Structure 1
């Protein structure tokens, strides 16, 4: 059986190998009825990322089938919670109604109930346990457990679909005298040159500043955006609107080398243009440089490109949450021997996913601030702070790729966003050791680099891979298809999502981990599973064009199980559909790009 987290046999093997539940996989014995802990898990999965719940497996017994489990009764009880409700029915155990599928399959000859929970659309969040109410019953996934979400997190989920306006509010107690006159003059001069239509009918500076939302309607009080972008010292009004900068000697904050807990620590403050420059300078002072040949000469370049550093810091300051809930938090820039992390309060705004960040579109939580920073010059030069054109992350990915570094990794939670910039190339000694441990050291370099990206936690699809490895889009698709055909990766669980670890990669990593720990795992147990995608493609390769009923017969599946996988395979170009989705004559044949 195929789940959003892989074939059921693979999912169970992962649980047994690590000996605990995972971030997106949970197992419960459910003997004697539905456990109360089921609803917090479904709430957490519905709020972020989705996940799979397996009922009928006992974690305390090594995830073996639970004795006395009544699969049919449990399935029917879960289905009742997922069904649509009329007004007269009253609310179910989870509000709003969760989305997903419920099925019964077998593990080791015993039945289990498989609940595949989908993440809710932004407009329907938060998902909460009805009996506990929204404030006390909204959950998030932390590691392998469910935790009540903070009030701030519930607020963000509840307002994610609406455009925030905090950046356009007046700053109590501030006046036009709190703006930096030099920066204001440079800003107005730039606007007159780059956007003359916006100021053609205005002669007074205060009117220009009001039109560009630097000043509020009274033309004397700065807006939050205006103060942050052009203020003398915004921290007088917002003490935590700063950057804390720290350099750690080890790979975690807890590592202490001798008596040294931090190698460098600074508070970076001022307006956003000043903080961007100061933060980048602080990072560069703690980075190594390398000598690069350029024509007849050579230049020193930092191990992480300056453009990538500036973009990461600018994004954090521009797109952080400036609501009252978050004004007590600061942006953090933290350096470790292997990476740089830039974190800000507020997750991805507007219902976007990590994969959407690479598509070049522009969507701003703080629309006034983002627009303003496109015309605010950086200190000492005419270059503006940002472009606000959606080009920042693709450009960051590109300069990192040209420097031999992986794409930036984005780690969002409901209440925060962290971007990770690696300081070392993809095929460094540690990566080579890992590739050797899973048996992938003989693959071509581009295939190895793609696997290392996945291993490091990066979301990967053809567009991300194209930018990260600086290659043609068709070459990126070719690399991914090769890895899928060889079992290293698997097609995305749903249209628009990224590729997953394949059964060969799962088996290799489990085996490498088990050997390291002294407990070898039977890799064949994982490799024996034949994912539904593979069975579909093999059936079409062997028999030519097939309809969905023929595919159901040859793959030992059902049309209902096949349809979501067929949509993904068509979207990825692995299959070509011969007729519209509604046509009874629709058949499927192998896409040209699969003939590698």
Structure 2
């Protein structure tokens, strides 16, 4: 059992490197399960691009992809791949391109799961004994939470949601490195600022506009990208169709899907924008602090506003979901920047 890591020069496998080489990096990663996972993470991190935010004496590096999302995908690939005799001689592949990263394992989705239900329905386990062993080794914290962790990590980084592709004999997870909420998309969303839409609904609009692989949105998609239950997804999608009229519904019940309304797609449509979102006094204080110091933490927020840890966490998380702040780091090293 091993993982093959392949780094390509462009956006497809046919593009050659500067010296005509097929791969810029080509590694075989084997060993024990913890060793394979660690080596796979190391190979990706080594080849990832990073942006840097400098604030005073502090330097904060922002990864091209959230590491927690990549780790979950690697563990899922090892835990759920097909180890039967039908898959002998095959291996997991990690393919890194300039615009995306793909992790492919042998064996399609197991049991009742499909591309539409993965991350929403209860998981089915192909390798129950292996998953129990991975739990005992603390490689898996909470069985069934991996897909949701990936989705939440990508959303927190303002990146497009991962794409899941089931080919029956293999399963592929694709992470895109384009920012879902770039300047152009935020300006586009701002055109609808007079329409009362919540964060989930705005994120769904951005998802439809920016994701070239998703010209349509299903209820399951909405649940997955926003980490909400079916009832809430149905209510919020219905509101976008009937009241806001920013989506069109096609089909009914289980076969329903949604696309952007024609007037939303019209590039010449004019809506008087509200350039500045309405901010509370505390949000204004936080933004002013970050503009002056470069970042803020939960501890600094508590000190600034004289509030407790829960109130600070609520405020900072809310501002992250409103795209006023960007979250980096994890646990006690979490910081919020502009």
With normalisation by structure 1, the TM-score equals: 0.38
CA distance in 2, matches of 1:363, 1:465: 22
After superposition, give the CA deviation of every residue in 1:199-245 in whole Å (9 maximum; x if it has no partner). Answer: xxxxxxxxxxxxxxxxxxxxxxxxxxxxxxxxxxxxxxxxxx21111
CA contact (8 A) 2:120 2:224 kept: no
Deviation of 1:273 (Å): 1.5
Whether 1:402 and 2:163 are equivalent positions in the alignment is: no
Q: 1:370 to 1:388 in 2, by over 3 A?
A: farther
Deviation of 1:286 (Å): 0.7
Deviation of 1:251 (Å): 0.8
CA distance in 1, matches of 2:247, 2:218: 14
CA contact (8 A) 1:358 1:463 kept: no
Q: 1:293 to 1:476 in 2, by over 3 A?
A: farther
Residue matched to 2:71: 310
Q: 1:296 to 1:464 in 2, by over 3 A?
A: farther
Q: Secondary structure at the match of 1:314?
A: helix
After superposition, give the CA deviation of every residue in 1:371-391 in whole Å (9 maximum; x if it has no partner). Answer: 111012xxxxxxx11135211
Deviation of 1:293 (Å): 7.5
Deviation of 1:306 (Å): 0.8
Residue matched to 2:257: 499
CA distance in 1, matches of 2:227, 2:53: 19
- Bigger CA radius of gyration: 1
CA distance in 1, matches of 2:90, 2:251: 36
CA contact (8 A) 1:360 1:390 kept: no
CA contact (8 A) 1:404 1:426 kept: yes
Specify which of 132, 144, 147 is matched with residue 390 of structure 1: 144
Q: 1:362 to 1:488 in 2, by over 3 A?
A: same
Residue matched to 1:275: 36
Q: Secondary structure at the match of 2:159?
A: coil
After superposition, give the CA deviation of every residue in 1:276-309 in whole Å (9 maximum; x if it has no partner). Answer: 1100110001111233579994522312111101
CA distance in 2, matches of 1:266, 1:368: 28
Q: 1:425 to 1:276 in 2, by over 3 A?
A: same
Deviation of 1:471 (Å): 7.9
After superposition, give the CA deviation of every residue in 1:91-126 in whole Å (9 maximum; x if it has no partner). Answer: xxxxxxxxxxxxxxxxxxxxxxxxxxxxxxxxxxxx
The equivalences for 1:441-460 within 5 A come to 442-443=191-192, 445-452=202-209, 455-457=212-214, 460=217
Deviation of 1:323 (Å): 0.9
Deviation of 1:365 (Å): 0.8
CA distance in 1, matches of 2:105, 2:256: 24
Whether 1:251 and 2:5 are equivalent positions in the alignment is: no
The equivalences for 1:194-593 within 5 A come to 241-258=1-18, 259-291=20-52, 297-359=58-120, 361-376=122-137, 384-428=138-182, 432=185, 442-443=191-192, 445-452=202-209, 455-457=212-214, 460-461=217-218, 464-465=221-222, 468-469=225-226, 480-481=237-238, 483-485=240-242, 486=245, 488-491=247-250, 494-495=253-254, 499-501=257-259, 504=262
After superposition, give the CA deviation of every residue in 1:329-350 in whole Å (9 maximum; x if it has no partner). Answer: 1100001111110001111110
Q: 1:286 to 1:492 in 2, by over 3 A?
A: farther
Instruction: Give 5+ residue unaligned stretches, structure 1.
Output: 1-240, 377-383, 513-596
CA distance in 2, matches of 1:307, 1:418: 18
Deviation of 1:472 (Å): 9.5
Q: How many residue pairs were aligned?
A: 256
CA distance in 1, matches of 2:12, 2:156: 28
Q: Secondary structure at the match of 2:65?
A: coil
CA contact (8 A) 2:159 2:180 kept: yes
Which structure is higher in RCO with an 8 Å CA cutoff and minimum separation 6? Answer: 2
Q: Secondary structure at the match of 1:309?
A: helix
